[in-house]
Chains A and B, each alone.
Chain A
Amino acid sequence: MTRYATRRILELVIVFLGVTLIIYALVFALPGDPIRALGGQRPLPQSVIDALHERYHLDDPFWQQYLRYLGGLFHGDLGVDFNGRAVSDKLASRWPVTIKLALTAWVIEVVLGLGLGVLAALKKGKWADRTILLVTIAVTSIPVFVLGAMAQLVFGVKWGIFPVAGTTKGWPMAYVLPAIVIAIFGIAAVSRLTRASVIENLGADYVRTARAKGMRSRRVLWVHVMRNSLIPAVTFLAIDLGYLLGGAVIVEGLFNLPGVGNLLFTSIRAHEGVTVVGISTVLIVIFLVVNVLVDLLQGFLDPRVRHGD
């Protein structure tokens, strides 16, 4: 286990360095002078340009700039926006909203995804199974912003069950509708994964043995089949939590929930490059760390994983 953990963490370090290097190279080293762009239509005096270049170390070689940026990241420094505010300060107040939304969506995914998956597997080939399959495929083809807008129109404007946008109603009223919209993709994926593995396990030898011993079929299902079928779905759910924590950009924007995704949404539309890159970096790092944690958990639970390849 220690060897497996060390290897995964080493890989994380390599991927982290690679990802930050790519972001830095693509965005910060693009042609064009960010200082000249600040001046807009009027050209800045050369002395001002020189002073700003000096201040932001823009004339240093690429590697030094990258290392300085990396050092800043480790100190929680994500850069400063055009108004002189630190990106990390702007982020701090946003986390509670995003975490509440992500957890609400995640619970909906767990309950509905696993429930529908098991139902579809037990009713394999019947109309319930076909309906679930059809609906999950159809729903996943609709882009999330269309789904969100439709939900606002029907449940918010027409029926008035949930607020259309904003957080004035507080949790849970203001969060349920956006949470369902984000969760829909996960529900579809989890239910398909669960259905496939439950069906596979229902035909396994150990199930036949358990039945032959005279075990009641309900106990076979919940004790033997479930325990073995949940592994793929649980893996997906764990990784998806990483996505959800950073993934709600569109939905937070649409529903005007002042979370991290909303900040990214408004920064993209306001062309605030520094803020966009800073937030994206944080979200990508969260995603990477969650992935490694999931791998470690899997290796801990299932010896085949850590002795693989």
Chain B
Amino acid sequence: MTESLVVLESEPIEVGGRRRTRGEVWRRLVRRPRFILSLAVIVVLIAISAFPGLFAGLFGNGDPTVCDLSDSVIGPTSGHPFGFDVQGCDVYANVIYGARASLTVGLLSTAMALVAAIVVGCVSGMYAGWPDSMLARLIDIFLGFPFLLGAVVVLTSFSTRNVLTVSVVLALFGWPTMARLMRAAVRQVRNADYVVAARGLGAGTVHILWRHVLPNTIAPVLAVATLTVGGVMVAEATLTFLGIGLQSPAISWGLQLATAQSKFGTSPHLLIFPALFLSITVLAVVTAGDALRDAFDPRST
């Protein structure tokens, strides 16, 4: 269960070397059909999460809470392309409405982790000496938690959990990977000529960070953040499946998969459709992140 972020940690980005210009990166990205395709999928999913009502009604039964127990676990029929769940609710409408929770947790949690990583990475990278050693140890300590196991320990002690609590807990164990990357990147540019020049002209530390250091270090961290969104979404579904993530009456893919677990032998449609949506979403996010990382990597051709 701790496998989900292994790939992220095993292929660190090289932060040295010549940085590509924005135009170069963009040209490299649009040349890749994989990136365009995954970006399209992500845009559609964001639209679904923002306006689920528009998409849920496509087959005429758009309300995920209209349920009839006599329809329980009936397979796909006309008007109900994904069939019915255990409670007799339309699976298609539920899958559509479930996108919001997964995507929100993924984006919110990653955003919080990213902010923490940038702050810690900048402070740690700019100030050598004791602030750096303290923060570097803090990063080490949080990296000592296998991602999901840490979340399991914390979430077990909450009796009520929602999108916000799950996001915060996942961010708590997600920031150190990005912080380490940020720190390494900031250390590389700390003594670059343009930083020394800005300091010589009397610029303050905050100004230097904002105008000179961040624009030159943020790109690879953003690429890893994209990958993290995918990892967090899988983690949310896994935790919910274990019974310590989101709780009903929330509508989420993880919850649908958890209820499908005991029934999938006889009615596999309960498992397949939410799983398909979750997997395609994660695939799109990870592919986009992978392409971004390649495009920013000065070593790749």
Among B1, B140, B243, B286: residue with most chain A CB under 10 A:
B1
Chain A interface extent, by class: 35 or more
Known: A146-B257, A153-B264, A247-B2. A141 touches B157 (CB 8 A): no
List of A residues within 8 angstroms of B230 by Cβ: 141
**Chain A residues whose C-beta falls within 8 Å of the C-beta of B261 in the assembled complex:** 145, 149, 254
Q: Are A11 and B152 in contact (CB under 8 A)?
A: no
Within the complex, what minimum Cβ distance (angstroms) separates A241 from chain B?
Answer: 12
Our count of residue pairs bridging A and B at CB distance below 8 angstroms stands at: 156
Residues of B within 8 A of A196 (CB): 11
Q: What distance in Å separates the Cβ of B172 from its nearest Cβ neighbour in chain A?
A: 9
* A14 nearest in chain B by CB position: B137
- How long is the Cα–Cα vector from A188 to B11 in the complex, in angstroms? 13
Would you call the interface of chain A mostly helix, strand, loop, or mixed?
helix
| B-side contacts of A30, CB under 8 Å | 157
If A15-B140, A246-B149, A250-B241 touch, does A143 touch B157 (CB 8 Å cutoff)?
no
Query: How far, in whole Å, are A139 and B296 apart by their CA atoms in the complex?
Result: 25
Q: Are B145 and A19 touching (Cβ within 8 A)? A: yes
Interface residues on B, range: 35 or more
Q: Is the CB of A269 within 8 A of B243?
A: yes
CB distance from A247 to the nearest CB of B (A): 5
Q: Are B242 and A268 in contact (CB under 8 A)?
A: yes
B-facing mask of A261-279, CB < 8 A → 1, else 0? Answer: 1001100110101001100
- Check A144–B286 contact: CB distance below 8 A: no
Max count, chain A CB within 10 A of own CB: residue among B144, B148, B157, B275: B144
Task: Determine which of B6, B157, B238 lies in contact with A185 in the assembled complex, contact meaning CB atoms within 8 Å.
Answer: B6
Extra contacts, 17 of them, besides A142-B279, A153-B265, A276-B152 (Cβ < 8 A), are: A14-B140, A15-B141, A18-B137, A22-B145, A137-B290, A138-B283, A141-B230, A141-B234, A143-B241, A143-B278, A144-B4, A186-B6, A193-B11, A243-B2, A243-B146, A268-B244, A283-B149
Which 7 A-B residue pairings sit nearest by Cβ, starting from the closest?
Answer: A18-B141, A141-B283, A185-B3, A141-B282, A146-B275, A249-B1, A15-B144
Some 14 contacts from A to B, beta carbons below 8 A apart, are A16-B144, A18-B144, A26-B157, A137-B286, A140-B286, A141-B279, A141-B286, A142-B275, A143-B237, A146-B275, A192-B7, A193-B11, A247-B146, A250-B242
